Amino acid sequence: MRYVTEKIVSFAITLLLVSTVTFFGVNVLPSDPAMLILGTEGDPERLESLRQELGLDRHVLARFVRWLRGMLSGDMGRSIRYSVEIAPLIRNALPVTLLLAVSAVGLALLISIPLGIGCAVRQGSFLETASLLLSQLGMALPSFWLGLLLINLFALRLGWLPPAGFTSGYSLILPALALAVPRAAVLTRIVRGSMLDALSQDYIRTARSKGLPRQMVLYKHALKNAAVSIASVAGVHLTQLLGGTIVIEQVFSLPGLGQLLLAAALQRDLPLVQGLVVTSAALILLVNFGIDLVLMGLDPRLRYE
């Protein structure tokens, strides 16, 4: 409970700092946010109307307190370009990005764990050599380029999957695979290294000397102890994807947070940018907290550190 309390306090302080930096970066650094939104050629009447709408006639601290209260109550304000409330826009885009990120990390683990274990068990074999070469290639491939190849093969040539848009769960298979392959390449090496370290420990030799089945030694003993490192790296990839799927969402025309943030930045929709940045930060902090709890479950020794 003390650990959870400390994490909640840390979460609140970090989110407050992110909100403060985001608000003042958007509202103070530009000399005139309204002119930044509409451009120097904007109509004077529209500029004045937008300044009143953004509350630029009030002191910046008063605006910050008002905006912060709204964020706490779920009111993120209105989008300038879309002329609708920001909260529904984010709610509609959030599930797409969440599903994409979780699917990509899940696929990466499904690919990397068997390959990494095979490399650790069969050192010097063709499987290890081929897996390490493929992982090296996978780390060098940009996700967007791989995504274009997948669209050309599975969507345009074979017609098995939709090339773009979000109509069903099938729409996420190709973008998730494009994101998973480079991460699977990294995780394969992590799994291999963690398994090699685990298999060299005394408790593995003890388990083998007891005559335990090979599968039990590998999966119940070695993989369980290697899971801490694997889960840590997988968690890092997940947090990166929650805030970094802009390019893939653009390639596959997915209506997620990344594409919404790109549109807001290009259209200079500052209130929407603020809401998206704070939402992404809160999401990443929540995921980090969840990963910490998972790691504590995998390794009870972490609870006393």
Q: Are residues 71 and 102 in the same domain?
A: no
Beta-bridged to residue 96, according to DSSP, are none
Q: Are residues 27 and 173 in the same domain?
A: no
pLDDT value, residue 103: 93
Q: Are residues 151 and 68 in the same domain?
A: no
Q: What is the pLDDT of residues 180-229, one digit of tens each?
A: 999 998 998 888 888 888 888 787 788 778 777 877 778 777 887 888 88
Q: Where are the beta strands (DSSP E) in 4-119?
A: none
pLDDT band at 35 (very low <50, low <70, confident <90, very high): low
State pTM to two decimals. Answer: 0.83
Q: Is residue 83 part of a domain?
A: no
Mean pLDDT across 13-32:
80
pLDDT band at 110 (very low <50, low <70, confident <90, very high): very high
The percent of residues in the chain predicted with pLDDT above 90, rounded, is 8
Overall domain count for the chain: 2
Mean pLDDT across 149-156:
89
Q: Are residues 122 and 163 in the same domain?
A: yes
- Domain span at 251: 94-255
Q: Are residues 229 and 153 in the same domain?
A: yes
